[in-house]
Amino acid sequence: MRRRTTLALLLALTACARPVVTPATPAGVDGEWRSYGHDAGGMRFSPLAQIDRGNVSRLARAWTYHTGELETRSDSASARDARRPPALETTPLMVGDVLYLSTAYQRVIALDAETGRERWTYDPYAGREKLRAGSPHRGVAYWEGRGPNGSRDTRIVYGTIDGRLIVLDAATGRPVPTFGDAGVVNLRAGMTDVPGAYGMTSPPAIYRDLVITGALVPESAARGPSGDIRAWDVRTGKLVWQFHTVPHEGEPGNDTWEPGSWRDRTGANVWSIMTVDVERGLVFLPIGSAASDFYGGDRKGANLYANSLVALDAATGRLRWHRQLVHHDIWDYDVASPPALVTIRRDGREIPAVVALTKSGLMFVLDRRTGEPLFPIEERPMPASHVPGEQASPTQPYPVKPAPLSRHTAITAAELTDVTPESRAYCTRLFAQFGQSGGAYTPPDTVLGMWFPGTLGGATWSGASIDPATATAFVNVNEIGAMGVIRRRAPGAPAPAWERWAPGGGYARFWDDHDLPCQRPPWGKLHAIDLATGEFRWTVPLGVNDSLLARGVGKTGAPNIGGSIATAGGLVFIGSTNDKRLRAFDVRTGEELWVTRLEGSAHATPITYRGARSGKQFVVIAAGGGGQFDRDQADVVAAYALPDGVAP
């Protein structure tokens, strides 16, 4: 139940004449952060206001925790370039006086929320160290209920990269023996009839006594483990329901696949974060692309439910509605952002809504009861593919509002970077190799080409945070093109017969040899969008490049991955950028009010909470570098608070 301050805020908003937004579901205890998105609906808004516009500049480091997970790597340049360490992408939870977080090696750690002192750790690879694998891991889920004798039962629920669903006692960190096999369910069972990787990198969704899981599955091969969504009893580990993300024969949507092409199809999975409408009993699935990512000649058709926002009955797994946001994806334009649930007030009526974002950089605002758009969606004609056997979709859906959040047009030679002579020269040589330059939904070709947005978006799993006081969604996006060519696979390679290739790898980006994007800045942006009108309130560059700052080139924006949060103090907090910084922006203007340096780039989403003992508001961020953008690595979880004596 919300406390008096939040009720007062919402009553004040209701009285306003302009359209406003309210949270979709109760957020639990106001001072805590119990779900990945704070509330089950994923608004990532905190009603705490101790830290505000007037004092945020006084924030200081309160404590630092080191996970101890630093890779030992060769100092040679070739070794550094060969593999970047996994990012520390975790978003902690805070319940009571404890923080719960996961690491890139799937350890779970409980910390004292006010001091950062370690309470307990759990290692799923203890005694099996040779099987340990690093991977981005975005966090854990929390469940609370009653035991057989009426006692309080609290559990931490999460998955591993090798396909295990694990339930821990939140008080001790020990596996719950009555769940599955001594606290573990084998998620691979029944999903891997065709060989391929299967694991979890994001926290599951929780609805009542159900744990709802997605998975990370292969993207380069056409056949492999299923991307189906499943629900498990949180007490016993028994399977309750399963939803086929690639419809089987006789199921609605199967006719959107070329006959037989659905069978053993991998992809079409939820590797990111689901959200829940507790009141209506709905779970929302942001489903990724069908495999393989860049060639669909062996899966002609729209390919439901790939690249769709899907609403299921959370108790039964029955389909309530779906809306496909990219047809027949051949660009890796996943629907990866957590769907954010809000209530939009227009003309005196309340509309329960869901905000969906895609890597193509489009935002769709839908009625979450029906999937109907709140802003019209147009099917716009798109170019045909020249790749043998491929049939690109003749149209793609575009919302009339908001406008695209990232570039959707081809780049010209006149728009190449000029931040340094060296970067311009490199990018000019690279650009001259292209036989094709296109915007969004330009099909990859048999000649080397480049298009915007690339595989890093647009919007990514970073998603949106929403401030109800200003009816605004805050979304960070990349402006990084993709480049590649579609070529035949080597004889004997797994299907399909065609693959994307480029100098620098299959997911190559249009940037120079120092990872500076090849078009003029900004390369990263933070948008503020009015959800009631679909208009942009403001847009600012997000991030800097230190080497360019030293040469007098500032405010370039930077490649970014990891989301934002909004607070009742009128602030948006975000790390995300590859410049090792955490920032706070004014929700009204986009002015940067505070910035601090971190030990590593924070490719994660922060949280904020009130300390149970001190009453202080803390902001916590994981800063580990690595991942898509960084060769540098750190192992830090950092907490910030106002110094004693600073008045809220």
Q: What is the DSSP string of 423-441?
A: HHHHHHHHHHT-SEEE-TT
Q: What average pLDDT does range 104-121 have in this prediction?
A: 98
Using CA atoms, how far apart are residues 448 and 436, in angstroms rounded to an integer?
7
pTM for this entry: 0.94
Q: Tens digit of pLDDT for each residue in 500-557?
A: 998 877 789 999 999 999 999 999 999 999 999 999 999 999 999 999 999 999 999 9
* Contact assessment for residue 427 and residue 483, using Cβ atoms and an 8 Å cutoff: no
User: Within 13 A of 32's CA, how many CA atoms are on the CB side?
Assistant: 21
Q: Tens digit of pLDDT for each residue in 553-604?
A: 999 999 999 999 999 999 999 999 999 999 999 999 999 999 999 999 999 9
Q: How many beta carbons lie within 10 A of that of residue 542, not counting itself?
A: 30
Q: Is 635 a catalytic residue?
A: no
Q: How would residue 494 be classed by pLDDT, with cut points 50, 70 and 90?
A: confident
3-class SS shares of the chain: helix, strand, coil, % to 5:
5, 35, 60
Phi-psi region of 256 (alpha: psi -120 to 50; beta: other; left: phi over 0): alpha
For 181, which DSSP code? B
Lowest-pLDDT choice from 41-45, 81-85, 308-312, 596-600: 81-85
Q: How many beta carbons lie within 10 A of that of residue 494, not counting itself?
A: 17
Using CA atoms, how far apart are residues 586 and 526, in angstroms rounded to an integer?
12
Comparing CA positions, the residue from 574, 576, 542, 545 lying closest to residue 557 is 542
User: What single-letter amino acid sits at 91?
Assistant: T
pLDDT of residue 462: 97
Secondary structure, 3-state, 344-379: EEECCEEEEEEEEECCCCCEEEEECCCCCECCCEEE
Q: How would residue 194 be classed by pLDDT, with cut points 50, 70 and 90?
A: confident
* Contact assessment for residue 182 and residue 219, using Cβ atoms and an 8 Å cutoff: no
Strands 482-488 and 498-501 turn out to be antiparallel
Written as six digits, the tokens of 378 are: 């147009």
Using CA atoms, how far apart are residues 73 and 80, in angstroms rounded to an integer?
8
Q: Residues near 23 by Cβ (< 8 Å), separated by ≥ 6? A: 39, 41, 43, 45, 341, 342, 343, 468
Active-site choice (39, 332, 579, 635): 332
Q: What average pLDDT does range 460-466 have in this prediction?
A: 97
pLDDT of residue 13: 37
pLDDT of residue 292: 96
Strands 205-207 and 60-66 turn out to be unpaired
Q: How many beta carbons lie within 10 A of that of residue 16, not counting itself?
A: 11
CB contact burial 260-293 (16+ within 10 A = b; e otherwise): ebbeebbbbbbbbbbbbbbebebbbbbbbbbbbb
